[in-house]
């Protein structure tokens, strides 16, 4: 996906994350902090490509990562999402003046990139170091670049129009045990 598509998709994701109250800080936090936090990390996984928007500016970091893991390698996996989430929420940043909702939004921004890349035919190695790539190829930026932009804008419109106070758990049938696991995960992230 292009950098522009990632920006729009991340914006939509952060709006959804706040409206769906994915964590208490996101539910109660400042809109500005959440939007900026999500946008800030939405291109971070592509640090593994020296020609990406971020890679061009941080070549000293991008080139070694590209050589070690290749493009769409470890940075596009559960392992990287878990690592970034732990790093961001484990105290290094949360003990600073940085608002906690900003940190949670940074995690949402990172995840939004991985999800968006999964929508392209190239897919992503979600279970890295297991190399199999996972994809739901509803977008094809090289063949239909306009459709990618239209899709991202549509997701953004849905996010903006989505009403407040309608949690996804109220819409779906979710067992108590899953609810309990979700509550536990939310508490760990605080």
Least CB distance from residue 154 to Zn ion, whole Å?
21
Interface with Zn ion (CB under 5 A), residue from 46, 50, 81, 109: 46
User: How many Cβ atoms are within 10 Å of 32's Cβ, its own excluded?
Assistant: 11
Q: How far apart are CA 152 and CA 107, in angstroms?
A: 19
Least CB distance from residue 15 to Zn ion, whole Å?
21
Judged by beta carbon, residue 46 or residue 148, the one nearer Zn ion is 46
Who's near 42: CB < 8 A, 6+ residues apart? 6, 7, 9, 10, 109, 110, 112, 113
Q: How far apart are CA 98 and CA 96, in angstroms?
A: 5
Least CB distance from residue 16 to Zn ion, whole Å?
20
Residue 48 sits in the site that holds Zn ion (CB under 5 A): no
Q: How far apart are CA 4 and CA 47, in angstroms?
A: 16
Segment near Zn ion (CB under 5 A); pick from 23-31, 80-88, 114-122, 164-172: 114-122
Interface with Zn ion (CB under 5 A), residue from 117, 119, 151, 156: 117
Least CB distance from residue 126 to Zn ion, whole Å?
13
Supply φ then ψ for residue 124, to 5 degrees.
-140, 150
Binding site for Zn ion (CB under 5 A): 45-46, 117
């Amino acid at each position: 996906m292009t950098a522009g598509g990632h920006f729009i998709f991340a914006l939509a994701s952060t709006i959804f994350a706040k409206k769906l109250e994915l964590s208490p800080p996101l539910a109660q936090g400042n809109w500005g902090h959440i939007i900026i936090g999500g946008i800030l990390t939405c291109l971070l996984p592509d640090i593994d490509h020296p020609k990406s928007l971020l890679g061009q500016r941080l070549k000293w970091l991008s080139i070694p990562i590209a050589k070690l893991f290749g493009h769409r390698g470890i940075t596009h996996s559960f392992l990287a999402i878990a690592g970034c989430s732990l790093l961001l929420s484990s105290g290094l940043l949360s003990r600073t003046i940085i608002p906690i909702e900003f940190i949670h939004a940074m995690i949402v921004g990172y995840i939004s990139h991985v999800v968006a890349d999964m929508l392209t035919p190239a897919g992503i190695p979600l279970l890295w170091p297991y190399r199999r790539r996972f994809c739901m190829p509803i977008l094809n930026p090289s063949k239909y670049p306009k459709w990618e932009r239209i899709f991202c804008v549509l997701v953004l419109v849905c996010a903006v129009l989505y009403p407040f106070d309608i949690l996804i758990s109220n819409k779906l049938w979710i067992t108590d045990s899953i609810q309990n696991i979700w509550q536990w995960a939310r508490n760990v992230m605080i």
